[in-house]
């Protein structure tokens, strides 16, 4: 018998290996999303300085190329939810292969900046949809004992995708890099085609025999799926019975406060400067006089991001959400202060920093590591924990749209801010915002670790929880509408 077959104290049984396979297959979409997120870092100089594509690309134009994908992602936050209900989780993800491949084709054969921009927009559409659909699919196919582990696959694969682009981009030209990236969604589609549809989707549609077949695939032929199908029916009936109009939901104190906290976390996540650092770290290293001897710096940054994301998945349920956010934001502020000091010294007298190029690299690495263990994954985790199940379906996409629009803003204006304020000024600004974010977390954000959904709603509504009141077992959360850890 496979080691993935268990019978635990809660009565959970079935094979785990097929669930890991399906979860990894779904996370192939995250790998595709990571490639478009990291693509701008190794392609900035070849396109804007070296003119590798044979037509001029100004810094201003490249800022649009880098940022417009975020608009495409924001555009999909609501439609992908309707698509998943209409045609299912599996086919919604397979449909996103089309905009991804189209986007890469436009970039590969680009003859002007407009083709690059349209291609990047389509990549955002496909990648942004995966950021909603893949975690939803993973949460619905996994049994509770491995749901957390499978849930970390998505963010991990995003960081792997970014690292992959950094590593490959260091050795090939922009067109070859884009061809390689364009193959990834095709491989994903070929593999994911053979994965089962979410059993919850079939239950939603009243197609119980197909739900049973899906569970047999995921849990093994010997699995008795009847009890789980009954649980899924009850969960679906509960969600439908508790559904309330959006305007009514946003008149509830707990919902208003949850939204304020969620949007505040998204604001400070993006205004910390993460997308500017990820998209333009090559330019930052070059500006820091790194030159060729630091050509591997972006690869090192990508590796740190992968390791830190793994660490976050291990510690988030042990140390709590608030402490991770506080440490993360404070250390990001320290990192951007170091960058600001470095560039200030360089601006005053370049000779002062001849032997300090390592400082900029250290600061960027520290920033990425601290973001990845706290402000990267935790805000999205808290979106899933703060909202009641009956409002999550429209509250989560609101947070998603807000996040992607902020990502667009930061990515777009970074070059403009750098020109207007100087590199030192931009990083002083980012450090100030991170310090404000630390204060925001300390004063406003509650700790949700170990609290049931009911207690979290009581806390947000202004009720006082007794210090000796048992937290109770966390109630099953409706994870179907949650977004994953961000993406930068």
What per-residue confidence (pLDDT) applies to 100? 96
Is residue 25 domain-resident? yes
Contact (CB, 8 A) for 47 and 117? no
State whether 376 and 274 are in the same domain: yes
What per-residue confidence (pLDDT) applies to 293? 47
Is residue 231 domain-resident? no
State whether 301 and 181 are in the same domain: no
What tokens appear for 41 in the block?
């870092």
State whether 301 and 434 are in the same domain: yes
H-state helical runs in 445-477? 453-460
In the block, residue with structure tokens 């994870």: 479
Through-space distance between the first and last CA atoms of the chain, rounded to whole angstroms:
41
What per-residue confidence (pLDDT) applies to 71? 93
- The residue out of 136, 166, 195 marking a domain boundary is 195
> Please, what is the Cα angle at 9 between 8 and 12, to 5 degrees?
45
What tokens appear for 427 in the block?
């990083």
State whether 319 and 189 are in the same domain: no
State whether 166 and 277 are in the same domain: no
In the block, residue with structure tokens 């690059």: 116
State whether 404 and 341 are in the same domain: yes
Return the SS3 of 401: helix
24, burial (CB in 10 Å: exposed 0-12, middle 13-18, buried 19+): middle
Closest among 33, 146, 132, 22 to 77, alpha carbons compared: 132
What is the spatial distance between Cα 271 and Cα 266, in angstroms, rounded to a whole number? 8
What per-residue confidence (pLDDT) applies to 7? 35
Return the SS3 of 144: helix
State whether 29 and 128 are in the same domain: yes
With 0.75 as the threshold, say if the pTM is over it: yes
Is residue 456 domain-resident? yes
State whether 259 and 333 are in the same domain: yes
Is residue 486 domain-resident? no
A 10 A CB-CB count for 441 gives: 26
What is the spatial distance between Cα 392 and Cα 123, in angstroms, rounded to a whole number? 26
What per-residue confidence (pLDDT) applies to 280? 63
State whether 155 and 271 are in the same domain: no
Return the SS3 of 56: coil
State whether 176 and 299 are in the same domain: no
Contact (CB, 8 A) for 370 and 224? no
What per-residue confidence (pLDDT) applies to 4? 35
State whether 179 and 263 are in the same domain: no
Return the SS3 of 6: strand
Give, for all 488 residues of the chain, the pLDDT tens digit: 333 333 333 445 678 889 989 989 998 888 998 998 889 888 988 999 888 999 999 988 998 998 899 999 999 988 988 898 899 999 999 999 999 999 999 999 999 999 999 999 999 999 988 888 888 888 888 887 777 667 777 778 888 898 899 899 888 999 999 999 999 999 999 999 999 999 988 998 889 999 999 999 999 888 888 888 888 888 778 777 777 776 776 777 888 888 899 999 999 998 988 876 766 666 666 666 555 445 566 787 788 888 888 887 777 667 778 888 999 999 999 999 998 888 888 888 877 777 777 787 788 889 988 998 888 878 877 877 787 766 766 777 888 889 889 988 888 887 788 888 888 888 899 999 999 999 999 998 888 776 766 777 778 877 776 655 544 433 444 444 444 444 44
State whether 182 and 266 are in the same domain: no
DSSP 402-453: HHHHHHHHHHHHHHHHHHHHHHHHHHHHHHHHHHHHHHHHHHHPPP-TT--H
What per-residue confidence (pLDDT) applies to 483? 42
Beta bridge partners of 6: 14
* Domain span at 110: 15-195
Describe the chain by its helix, strand, coil percentages, rounded to 5. 75, 0, 20
- In the chain, the number of structural domains is 2
Is residue 205 domain-resident? no
State the CATH number of the domain containing residue 51. Answer: 1.20.1250.20
What per-residue confidence (pLDDT) applies to 251? 73
> Please, what is the Cα angle at 111 between 280 and 126, to 5 degrees?
60
């Amino acid at each position: 018998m496979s080691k993935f077959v268990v019978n635990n104290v809660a009565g959970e049984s079935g094979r785990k290996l097929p669930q890991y396979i399906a979860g990894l297959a779904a996370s192939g979409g995250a790998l595709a999303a990571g490639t478009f997120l990291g693509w701008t870092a190794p392609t900035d100089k070849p396109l804007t300085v070296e003119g590798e594509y044979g037509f001029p690309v100004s810094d201003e134009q490249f800022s649009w190329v880098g940022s417009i994908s975020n608009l495409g992602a924001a555009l999909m936050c609501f439609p992908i939810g309707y698509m998943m209900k209409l045609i299912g989780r599996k086919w919604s993800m397979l449909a996103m292969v089309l905009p991804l491949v189209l986007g890469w084709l436009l970039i590969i054969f680009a003859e002007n900046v407009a083709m690059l921009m349209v291609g990047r927009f389509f990549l955002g559409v496909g990648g942004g949809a995966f950021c909603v659909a893949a975690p939803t699919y993973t949460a619905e196919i996994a049994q509770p004992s491995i749901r957390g582990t499978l849930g970390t696959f998505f963010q991990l694969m995003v960081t792997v995708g970014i690292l992959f682009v950094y590593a490959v981009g260091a050795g090939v030209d922009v067109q070859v890099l884009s061809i390689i990236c364009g193959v990834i969604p095709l491989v994903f589609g070929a593999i994911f085609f053979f994965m089962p549809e979410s059993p919850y989707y079939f239950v939603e549609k009243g197609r119980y025999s197909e739900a049973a077949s899906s569970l047999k695939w995921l849990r093994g032929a010997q699995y008795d799926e009847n009890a789980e199908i009954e649980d899924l029916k009850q969960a679906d009936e509960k969600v439908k019975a508790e559904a309330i109009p959006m305007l009514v939901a946003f008149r509830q104190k707990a919902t208003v406060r949850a939204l304020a906290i969620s949007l505040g976390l998204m604001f400070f996540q993006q205004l910390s400067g993460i997308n500017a650092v990820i998209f333009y770290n090559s330019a930052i290293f070059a500006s820091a006089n790194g030159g060729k001897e630091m050509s591997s710096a972006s690869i090192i940054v990508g590796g740190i991001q992968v390791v830190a994301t793994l660490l976050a998945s291990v510690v988030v349920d042990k140390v709590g959400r608030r402490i991770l956010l506080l440490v993360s934001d404070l250390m990001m502020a320290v990192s951007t202060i170091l960058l600001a000091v470095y560039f200030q010294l360089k601006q005053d007298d370049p000779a002062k920093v001849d032997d300090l190029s390592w400082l900029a690299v250290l600061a960027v690495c520290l920033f990425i590591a601290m973001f990845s263990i706290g402000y990267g994954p935790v805000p999205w985790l808290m979106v899933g924990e703060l909202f009641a199940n009956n409002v999550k379906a429209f509250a989560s996409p609101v947070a998603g749209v807000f996040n992607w629009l902020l990502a667009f803003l930061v990515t777009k204006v970074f070059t403009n801010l750098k020109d207007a304020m100087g590199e030192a000024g931009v990083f002083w600004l980012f450090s100030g915002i991170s310090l404000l974010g630390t204060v925001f977390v300390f004063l406003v954000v509650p700790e949700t670790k170990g609290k049931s959904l009911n207690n979290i709603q009581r806390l947000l509504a202004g009720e006082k929880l007794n210090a000796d009141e048992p937290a109770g077992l966390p109630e099953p959360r409706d994870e179907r509408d949650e977004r994953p850890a961000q993406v930068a």
